[in-house]
């Protein structure tokens, strides 16, 4: 009796397992074929609208690890074993540090549509070492003076100097990062290379910054800037751009970014392949996808923060499909556009400090905040 019941149970289990296996097999096979691609990136880039098509085509799941700021990105790389990240989306000025630390792989130039880039963006500074690219320029934007139109007109915003006016006292906001803030104030001081300053000019710059402190309302992160600019809590924020005001304008807020007479900065985001990545083929396909006209339009209209794009084909597709957005983002093919600003010499690249260490700039910013 006992023996009989055991065999029955065994039979039952065996049969059950067989049934379960046959039901689950297709799902398991699908899942087995799917690969994971990890990317270390600023927030918002792993939006399904952007990467969904790629995931579908290549049966891959993209796992994004988001960071805030280049320092955190470098720390993340330094603390993770090689090969943890297949792809790295970084600010262009940090590519040199990534390359020197051996965190990224050299790329084959023929894999990417560099010929389709506008000439300004080919051989981009800090991306090529010994004739080999280590990063591919993906998107860019300008930084100037972003302002709420009801509090500050475009005419007023023609100089950074306007932030010191008594009527903006307690009405100037800051993005809580030293580099773009010090960079724009350095432009105001008339430094032709805003990040390459000797001791005297550096001292002048910190002096200029400190004199702005009484005007300051607060130091904000991404979300804080959106709400402060929209509500009119602050009149203006220096050193940011359409990556904030574009998001607000899309929702109908009366805000814009003006590049003052003293000039503006350019931020740039680039894609690299992580050193000893186990998925280099997929990573390469991903960069190719993002550089295709389709990917370029998607990244130009990224929900988290829009950007301009470096490829001619991308511009053409954007002008074709979203002419309004192309005009708003200053990427109109016929007529004046962002490239004219670059060619007129009004735009400087955002860079890491040349003569001081990053730490000195960091400390100056902390001192400014605590003043």
Partner 1 sequence: MNSPALPARTSGRRLPFLFRRTWPALWILPMPVWLLLFFAVPLGLLVAISFWSVVNYRLTPDATLAAWRHVLGLDFLWASFWRSYGLSMASAVVISLLAFPASYAMAFVAAPRQRLILLGLAIAPFFTSYLVRIYSWQVFLTEGGVISSIVQAFGGKGDSLLNTYFALFLGHATLALPVVLILQTIALANVDRTGISAAANLGARPRAILFRVILPAARPGLTLGLLFAFLLSYAEFVSASYLGGGAFQTLPILVTDLVRAGQQWPRAAVVSLLMIASLLVTAFVTVLWAYREKG
Work out how close the CB of 47 gets to partner 1 at its nearest, in angstroms, rounded to a whole number: 22
Is residue 68 within the footprint of partner 1 (CB under 8 A)? yes
Interatomic CA distance for residues 25 and 28, integer angstroms: 5
Work out how close the CB of 71 gets to partner 1 at its nearest, in angstroms, rounded to a whole number: 5
Binding track, positions 258-277, relative to partner 1; x by CB under 8 A: --------------------
Residue 112 CB partners (closer than 8 Å, separation 6+): 133, 136, 287, 288, 291
| Residue of the chain from 18, 24, 101, 354 that contacts partner 1 (CB under 8 A) | 101
The stretch near partner 1 (CB under 8 A) out of 22-30, 120-128, 188-196, 220-228 is 220-228
Is residue 219 within the footprint of partner 1 (CB under 8 A)? yes
Q: Which residues of 184-200 are buried (b: 16+ CB within 10 A; e: fewer)?
A: bbbbbbebeebbebeee
Work out how close the CB of 311 gets to partner 1 at its nearest, in angstroms, rounded to a whole number: 33
The stretch near partner 1 (CB under 8 A) out of 160-168, 266-274, 303-311, 357-365 is 357-365
Q: Which residue number, 136 or 216, has a Cβ lying nearer to partner 1?
A: 216
Is residue 227 within the footprint of partner 1 (CB under 8 A)? yes
Is residue 222 within the footprint of partner 1 (CB under 8 A)? no
Name the nearest CA neighbour of 210 among 247, 185, 243, 242.
185
Is residue 359 within the footprint of partner 1 (CB under 8 A)? yes
Q: Which residue number, 70 or 194, has a Cβ lying nearer to partner 1?
A: 70
| Residue of the chain from 72, 132, 153, 211 that contacts partner 1 (CB under 8 A) | 72
Is residue 153 within the footprint of partner 1 (CB under 8 A)? no
Interatomic CA distance for residues 368 and 371, integer angstroms: 5
| Residue of the chain from 44, 106, 109, 218 that contacts partner 1 (CB under 8 A) | 218
Cα distance from N-terminal residue to C-terminal residue, the chain = 87
Is residue 106 within the footprint of partner 1 (CB under 8 A)? no
| CA angle centred on 53, ends 47 and 54, rounded to 5° | 90
Work out how close the CB of 367 gets to partner 1 at its nearest, in angstroms, rounded to a whole number: 6
Is residue 203 within the footprint of partner 1 (CB under 8 A)? no
Work out how close the CB of 215 gets to partner 1 at its nearest, in angstroms, rounded to a whole number: 11
| Residue of the chain from 233, 254, 294, 325 that contacts partner 1 (CB under 8 A) | 233
Work out how close the CB of 205 gets to partner 1 at its nearest, in angstroms, rounded to a whole number: 18
The stretch near partner 1 (CB under 8 A) out of 106-114, 120-128, 346-354, 361-369 is 361-369
Virtual CA dihedral for 350, 352, 358, 362, nearest 10 degrees? 0
Is residue 28 within the footprint of partner 1 (CB under 8 A)? no
Name the nearest CA neighbour of 179 among 360, 302, 370.
360
Q: Which phi and psi (to 5°) does residue 34 adopt?
A: -75, 135
Beta bridge partners of 63: 38
Interatomic CA distance for residues 242 and 331, integer angstroms: 13
- DSSP per residue, 12-68: HHHHHHHHHHHHHHHHHHHHHH-EEEEEEEETTTT-HHHHHHHHHHHTEEEEEEEES
Q: With beta carbons less than 8 A apart as the criterion, state whether 234 and 173 touch.
A: yes
Interatomic CA distance for residues 180 and 44, integer angstroms: 20
Q: Which residue number, 97 or 279, has a Cβ lying nearer to partner 1?
A: 97
Q: Which residue number, 23 or 78, has a Cβ lying nearer to partner 1?
A: 78
Q: Interface residues for partner 1 in 283-342 (CB under 8 A)?
A: none
| Residue of the chain from 65, 149, 201, 217 that contacts partner 1 (CB under 8 A) | 217
Q: With beta carbons less than 8 A apart as the criterion, state whether 217 and 233 touch.
A: yes
| Residue of the chain from 75, 82, 108, 333 that contacts partner 1 (CB under 8 A) | 75
Helix or strand (DSSP H, E) at 265: strand 264-273
Site residues for partner 1 per CB under 8 A: 68-69, 71-72, 74-75, 78-79, 101, 174, 178, 216-220, 224, 227-228, 231-233, 358-359, 362-363, 365-367, 369-371
């Amino acid at each position: 009796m006992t023996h009989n019941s055991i065999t029955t149970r065994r039979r039952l289990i065996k049969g059950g397992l067989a049934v379960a296996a046959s039901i689950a097999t297709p799902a398991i096979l699908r899942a087995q074929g799917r690969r994971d691609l990890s990317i270390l990136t600023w927030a918002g880039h792993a939006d399904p609208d952007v990467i969904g098509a790629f995931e579908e085509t290549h049966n891959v799941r993209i796992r994004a690890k988001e960071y805030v700021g280049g320092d955190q990105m470098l720390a993340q790389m330094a603390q993770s074993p090689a090969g943890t990240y297949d792809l790295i989306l970084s600010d262009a000025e940090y590519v040199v540090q990534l390359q020197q630390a051996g965190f990224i792989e050299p790329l084959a130039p023929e894999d990417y549509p560099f010929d389709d880039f506008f000439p300004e963006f080919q051989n981009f500074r800090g991306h090529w070492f010994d004739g080999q690219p280590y990063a591919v320029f993906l998107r860019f934007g300008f930084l100037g003076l972003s302002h709420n139109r009801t509090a500050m007109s475009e005419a007023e915003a023609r100089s950074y100097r306007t932030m010191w006016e008594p009527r903006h006292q307690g009405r100037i906001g800051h993005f809580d990062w030293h580099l773009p803030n010090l960079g724009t104030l350095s432009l105001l001081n008339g430094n032709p290379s805003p990040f390459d300053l000797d001791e005297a000019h550096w001292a002048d710059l910190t002096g200029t910054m400190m004199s702005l402190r009484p005007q300051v309302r607060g130091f904000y992160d991404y979300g804080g800037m959106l709400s402060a600019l929209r509500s009119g809590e602050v009149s203006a924020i220096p050193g940011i751009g359409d990556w904030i005001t574009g998001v607000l304008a899309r929702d109908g807020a009366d805000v814009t970014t003006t590049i003052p007479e003293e000039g503006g900065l350019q931020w740039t985001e680039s894609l690299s392949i992580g050193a000893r990545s186990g998925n280099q083929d997929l990573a390469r396909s991903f960069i190719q996808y993002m550089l295709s006209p389709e990917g370029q339009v998607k990244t130009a209209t990224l929900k988290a923060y829009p950007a301009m794009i470096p490829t001619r084909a991308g511009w053409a597709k954007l002008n074709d499909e979203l002419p309004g957005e192309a005009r708003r983002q200053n990427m109109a093919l016929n007529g004046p556009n962002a490239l004219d600003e670059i060619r007129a010499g009004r735009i400087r690249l955002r860079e890491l400090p040349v003569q001081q260490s990053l730490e000195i700039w960091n400390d100056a910013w902390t001192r400014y905040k605590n003043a």
